[in-house]
Structure 1
Amino acid sequence: MAIKERSLEETPTWAVAVVCFVLLFISIMIEYFLHFIGHWFKKKHKKALSEALEKVKAELMLLGFISLLLVVLQTPVSQICIPRNIAATWHPCSNQQEIAKYGKDYIDDGRKILEDFDSNDFYSPRRSLATKGYDKCAEKGKVALVSAYGIHQLHIFIFVLAVFHVLYCIITYALGKTKMKKWKSWERETKTIEYQYANDPERFRFARDTSFGRRHLNIWSKSTFTLWITCFFRQFFGSVTKVDYLTLRHGFIMAHLPAGSAARFDFQKYIERSLEQDFTVVVGISPLIWCIAVLFILTNTHGWNSYLWLPFIPLLVILIVGAKLQMIISKLGLRIQEKGDVVKGAPVVEPGDDLFWFGRPRFILFLIHLVLFTNAFQLAFFVWSTYEFTLKNCFHHKTEDIAIRITMGFVNFFNYTYYTKA
C-alpha cells in the first residue's frame, strides 16, 4: 500500500522553520553579494558593468516570477483536460519507448504515471504525481494538459536555465577580457619611435604595399565570391590581427580625435569599455529570444531528429558572423584603394553602417547574443534532462545525440568567445 506524504499539519514546526531559515539565509547572502558587486562597479566607475548587473537582477527577477506563477498555477493548469488523441501527439518518446518504460497502460490510459510500485511496495519518489489525491481528467476519459509533476519539472528547468545563462555571461566576459590583454603590447608599440617612423604622415606609399594592403588587397579581393571564401577561412587564423588592430586604431583616431592626440589615446581601453557596453546587451533576454527558446522546446519531438541539426545552428550563425566581420575589414581596405593607389602616411579606414547587414551594426550583436543564449539553453536542457530522466532518455536516447550536444555546446561557446571582439 502506498504511503501518503505528510502535509504541513503533520510536520514538526522546527523542521519547517529550519527550511525557511536556510532559504532566507541563502537568498540574503546572494542579495548582499550582488549589492557588493554593484557598489564595487560604481567605485571603479564601471557604469556599463553596473547596468549589466541591473539587467542580471531583472532577468533573475523575471525567472523567479515565472517560477512563482508555475507554483501558484500548478493545480489549475493540471486540471485543464484535453482529449487523449490530441495528448498522444508530439511526444519526445516513441510509442515503443513509452511502452517499454511505463507499460502498455501508459499508452491506453494516456496518464503520465500510474501506480508503479518498487520492490518494497512504495511509490517511486521520482515517478509519483505531484497532485492532491486523484487525476480529475482521468475520470473524464481525458488527459491533463500538463500534469502537476510536469509543471514541477519545468520549474526545475527554469532554475537550471537561469544558472547557466548567468554563468555563460560571466565566463564570456572574463574570456573576452583575457583575450584583449595581448592588445596592450600592440598599444604600447604605438608609442615607440619605430612605429612613428613607419607611419610618418608625410610618407607616400602604394596602398597595396602597406601591411594592411598586403593582407586585404590581393587577387582574392577582386571577386565578391572569392572574398567571402577567403574571409570565411581567415577567421580561423586570428579574429583580430596586429595589422588590423593598428589600422582600425589609426582610422578611429583620424575620424574622432583632434590632430596630435594619437600618442595620448589608448585604443585598447576604449575597446574594453565597448566590451562592457556590449555586455549590458548580451546579459538581457529579449522577448524574441524567449520565443526562440519556446521553439527549441517544441523541436524536442520524436521523429524530428533535432539532435542532428539543432546544435549546429548556433555554430553556423557564429561562423557566418565571423566571416562577415572579416568581410567588413577587407571592404575597408578596398575603399582605401578606390580612393587612389597611393596613400599618404598610414592608410585611413572609414567604417560605415552600410557595411553591415541591413545597415544595422547592432544586428550582429543580436546574433551574437542569440548564440550565447541558445548555447546556454541547450547545455541547461541537457543537464536538466539528465538529472530528471538519467543520461539516456527520450530527449537524447542515442549515444551520438549525447556526444553531439555536449561537443557542440562547448565548441559553440569557445567559437563565440573567439569572435565576439573580432
Structure 2
Amino acid sequence: MVGVSGGRNLEETPTWAVALVCFVLILISIIIEHILHLIGKWLKKKHKSDLYESLEKIKSELMLLGFISLLLTVGQDPISRICVSEQVAGTWHPCSKREEVMMHEVGRTGAVNPRRVLAAGGSDKCTAQGKVPLVSPEGIHQLHIFIFVWAGFHVLCCILTLALARVKMRSWKRWEEETRTSEYQSSHDPERFRFARETSFGRRHLSFWTQTPVPIWIVCFFRQFVRSVPKVDYLALRHGFIMAHLAPQNQEKFDFRKYIGRSLEEDFKFVVGLSPPFWFFAAFFLLFNTHGWYSYLWFPFIPLIIILVVGTKLQVIITKMAQGIQQKGEVVKGEPVVEPGDDLFWFKRPRLILYLINFVLFQNAFQLAFFAWTVCQFGLKSCFNSQTMDVVIRISMGVFVQILCSYVTLPLYALVTQMGSTMRPTIFDEKIAMAIRSWHMNAKQQVRRNRGSASVTPLISRPTSPSNRIHHHRTQGDSSSSQHSSSEDGSSLYRQDLEIGCLGHHVGDSQ
C-alpha cells in the first residue's frame, strides 16, 4: 500500500512502465548471452577446447550467483520476518557505536533514504514484539548489489589472469626460436665436458647461499621479484623435459612454449573454478569484517602470504633440480639434464600448488569486490573504510596480488609443473589428440569384434593409426607384411604403435 510502504505497487503502476523495464532487462540478458555464445563459437573454431570449458565453467558460476540472488529475492519477506532481540542484534557490527549514532543523526537531518521507508513496513511485526529483524529488506537489497559486483569482479579477474600470464609467456617465444638456430646447436655441443658449477644453470643455482635450507628459501624468495623465469632456467627445464619424456632428436622440432601454453589453458579451467570451501571462506571473511577485529590489517595479507610462499617454493624446486645434477657428478657431458619428479613438490602433489593459486585469485577478487561495493554503496568514508590506511592497504594489496599471481607465479607454475613424474596429455595439440581418440575408439571396437575369434587378422585390417591419419608415411605394402593371430597381440601392437608412432616420431613434427 502507498501509505504503508511509501511507494506504489504494480496495481498502481502504469503497464508501459512495467513492460519497459522488463524489455530492457530481457534485451540486456539476450545481448550478454549472445556475446558469450559468439566467444564460445570462436574458441571452438580456434580449437581452444580448454578455454571453451573455462567459459562454460564461468557461465555456470554466474548462474550459481544468479540463483543465490533469486533465493534472496524469494526469501526476502521470510528472512525479514525472523526476529531477534536487540541485545543479540547489537553484537558484531562493522561500525562502532559512535559511528552508528553519527549515521543516525545524519539520517534525521538529511534526506530520507527511500529504502529505509520501504524497510519500515517489514519490521512492524518485530517492532510489535520489541525485537528487530534478522536482516532488514534494505540489507537484503544491498546483498543483491554485492552479488552483482562480485560476479563482475570474478569475470574481470579471470580475464586479467589469463591475459597477464600470456603476456609473460610471449617473451619466451624468442628463446624457443633460438633453439632452432645453428648458433645454439654449436654452443650446446653434446660431447663437451664441463664442471656442473661452470654451466650457466649451475652458476645461477649452485652458489654458497643455496646449499643450506634457510638461505636457499631467502634467496628464492627474492628471485620471484627479479627475473622469475630467466632464459637459462627455461632452456634447462626444456632440455630436461625432452630428455625425460621425448626422443632426443625431437629437441629442435618440439615447441616447448606452445606445450606450456596448452597446459596453462588446461589449468585455467581449474583456476576459474569456485569450490565449496572457497564459499565458506567468503562467509568467514564477512563474519570477521566487524569493528574491533581490524580485519583490514590482516585479511588482505592472507592471499599475499600464500602466493609468496608458493612462488618461493617453485623457485626452490628449480634450485633443487640443479643440486640434483651436481649430486650425480661434478662433471657433466653436454648440457646439464634436470630430472623431473613429483617428490620435489609438497606431498608429491604438483596440483596442490594450483589449488593454492586458485584460492588466492578467488580471495583477492572477493576482497576487491567487497571494497568496491562498500565504496559505491556507503561511500569512501563509511565505517567499512573509516581509516585511510584501510583504503590504501586494500587497494594496493589487491592490485599487487593480482599482478604477482597472474604475471609471475602462474606462468612460473606452468613451467615448473612440467617437471613432474608424468607427461600431461597436452603434449598433443587438438588435431592430433582428436586423431588419437578416434583411433583409440576404432581400435577398441576392432578388438571387441575379434574377441573370441581364432581367425588370423591381417595387419592391414587394423584400424588406421594416428600416424597414418595425420602424415600418411606408411605404405600399404608395409602394413600387409605382418600377421597377428590373436586379439591380445593386436591390442598390444596398437599400444606399441601409439607410443612409437606418436611420441617418438610425430610429437616434434606436429608442433
TM category (shorter chain) comes to: over 0.9
Sequence identity of aligned pairs in percent?
Answer: 61
Distance 1:176 1:3 in 2: 52
SS of alignment partner, residue 240 of structure 1: coil
Q: Please name the residue that 2:332 is paired with.
A: 343
Distance 2:120 2:269 in 1: 41
Q: Which runs of 5+ in 1 are unaligned?
A: 104-112
Distance change in 2, residues 1:189/1:166 (3 Å): same
Distance 1:196 1:220 in 2: 32
Amino acid aligned to 1:155:
H
Distance 1:99 1:118 in 2: 12
Question: For 1:242-297, what per-residue CA distance to the aligned partner results, in whole angstroms no more than 9, with x for missing partners?
Answer: 00000010011111112311111001111111111111111111101111111111
Q: Which runs of 5+ in 2 are unaligned?
A: 413-511
Q: Please name the residue that 2:58 is paired with.
A: 56
CA contact (8 A) 1:117 1:124 kept: no
SS of alignment partner, residue 260 of structure 1: helix
Q: How far does residue 3 in structure 1 lie from its aligned partner after superposition? A: 8.0
Matched, 1:419 2:409: yes
Distance 2:241 2:53 in 1: 26
Matches within 5 A, 1:176-255: 176-255=165-244
Q: Please name the residue that 1:318 is paired with.
A: 307
Distance 1:130 1:317 in 2: 42
Of residues 351-360 and 28-37 in structure 1, the stretch that sits farther from structure 2 once superposed is 351-360
SS of alignment partner, residue 146 of structure 2: helix
Q: Please name the residue that 1:97 is paired with.
A: 99
CA contact (8 A) 1:131 1:149 kept: no
Distance 2:381 2:349 in 1: 43
TM-score, length-scaled by structure 1: 0.94
CA contact (8 A) 2:115 2:138 kept: no
Of residues 46-55 and 250-259 in structure 1, the stretch that sits farther from structure 2 once superposed is 250-259
Q: Please name the residue that 1:108 is paired with.
A: none
TM-score, length-scaled by structure 2: 0.78
Distance 1:64 1:202 in 2: 63
Q: Please name the residue that 1:34 is paired with.
A: 36
Higher RCO by CA contacts (8 Å cutoff, separation 6 or greater): 1
Q: How far does residue 128 in structure 1 lie from its aligned partner after superposition? A: 3.4
Supply the RMSD in Å over aligned alpha carbons.
1.7
Matches within 5 A, 1:65-104: 65-103=67-105
Question: For 1:337-372, what per-residue CA distance to the aligned partner results, in whole angstroms no more than 9, with x for missing partners?
Answer: 111111121111112211111221111111111111
Q: How far does residue 302 in structure 1 lie from its aligned partner after superposition? A: 0.4
Distance 2:122 2:328 in 1: 80
SS of alignment partner, residue 225 of structure 2: helix
Distance 2:120 2:56 in 1: 37
Of residues 37-46 and 352-361 in structure 1, the stretch that sits farther from structure 2 once superposed is 352-361
Matched, 1:271 2:260: yes
Question: For 1:56-109, what per-residue CA distance to the aligned partner results, in whole angstroms no more than 9, with x for missing partners?
Answer: 011001000000000000110111111221111100011111112115xxxxxx
Q: Please name the residue that 1:363 is paired with.
A: 352
CA contact (8 A) 2:206 2:322 kept: yes
CA contact (8 A) 2:202 2:322 kept: yes
Amino acid aligned to 1:333:
A
Amino acid aligned to 2:273:
G
CA contact (8 A) 2:306 2:356 kept: yes
Structure whose CA Rg is larger: 2
Distance change in 2, residues 1:7/1:117 (3 Å): farther
Q: Please name the residue that 1:47 is paired with.
A: 49
Distance 1:223 1:236 in 2: 21
Q: Please name the residue that 1:377 is paired with.
A: 366
Distance 2:37 2:261 in 1: 23
Distance 1:130 1:141 in 2: 16
**Which has the larger helix fraction?**
2
Aligned length: 409
Distance 2:108 2:394 in 1: 34
Amino acid aligned to 2:390:
D
